[in-house]
Chain A
Amino acid sequence: KNQVEQSPQSLIILEGKNCTLQCNYTVSPFSNLRWYKQDTGRGPVSLTIMTFSENTKSNGRYTATLDADTKQSSLHITASQLSDSASYICVVRGNNRLAFGKGNQVVVIP
């Protein structure tokens, strides 16, 4: 069973709208959690890192949250733009390993 589950698998949103992506994990012990953005045919690029003591962190229009008690994280995209169309990958570090989610595929349409 994958230690990192992301939902929804894919979604389509209108330009200008907000959306929220979910990441649930079972990795233990937990060290940190990163959200990456991967454009089609490119390598992933880090958006933000969350550690155990952090609840919320923003990077421009991207806001990540972490609830270490329930082992859940979310990535909120505000006022989406066409350039936000990408796969968003949740990566959890724990026990000296990295566990990768399968990604949330986001398509922003005009």
Chain B
Amino acid sequence: DGGITQSPKYLFRKEGQNVTLSCEQNLNHDAMYWYRQDPGQGLRLIYYSQIVNDFQKGDIAEGYSVSREKKESFPLTVTSAQKNPTAFYLCASSSGLAGGLNLYNEQFFGPGTRLTVL
């Protein structure tokens, strides 16, 4: 999984509780991303960050929040406002913004966290 770790691998929470998913990378990458994966659907971008202390909303940011206080870390909080939080969450990083000028920026993905809200 290329120097990106996510924890925990499985997470169970009661409805109405906030939960934070961890993502750490030791690849010295500037850009980090959070995706959500549901059965039968493509990956959907939640948030991304190009640099420390800066992040941007993706396509489905509602009900989620992030922080980027360190280059290596990009935690995702799933809040109680997220209507359907049960999903597989993937964190990724790249040496530059994946949609940016470096056409060969590969995204390296972590092993994922499966969140189940009961």
Sampled A-B contacts (16; CB under 8 Å) = A2-B42, A41-B88, A41-B112, A41-B114, A42-B112, A43-B92, A43-B109, A43-B110, A43-B112, A44-B109, A49-B106, A51-B103, A89-B43, A98-B99, A100-B42, A100-B44
CA distance A34 to B92 in the complex (A): 15
Q: List residues 42-59 of chain A with CB under 8 A from any CB of chain B.
A: 42-46, 49, 51
Contact with A along B33-53 (1 / 0, CB 8 A): 000000011111100000000
Check if A4 is an interface residue, CB within 8 A of chain B: yes
A31 to B40, CA, bound (A): 26
B residues near A (Cβ < 8 Å) are: 1-2, 4, 40-45, 88, 90, 92, 98-100, 103-104, 106-107, 109-112, 114
Whole-angstrom distance from the CB of A51 to the nearest CB of chain B? 7
Dominant secondary structure of chain A at its interface with chain B: strand
Known contacts: A102-B40, A102-B42. The answer to whether A96 contacts B114 by CB under 8 A is no
Residues of A within 8 A of B112 (CB): 41-43
> How distant is A45 from chain B, measured CB to nearest CB, in Å?
7
Q: A46 to B99, Cβ gap below 8 A?
A: no
CB distance from B4 to the nearest CB of A (A): 8
Interface contact A49-B42, CB-CB below 8 Å: no
Q: B41 near A102 (CB under 8 angstroms)? A: yes
Contacts of B42 in A (CB 8 A): 2, 4, 89, 99-103
Q: Given the complex of chains A and B, what is the CA–CA distance between A97 and B58 in angstroms?
A: 11
Other-chain contact of B111, A31, A43, A95, A98 (Cβ < 8 Å): A43
What chain A residues lie within 8 Å of B45 (beta carbons)?
98
Query: Which residue of the partner chain B has the closest CB to A32?
Result: B103
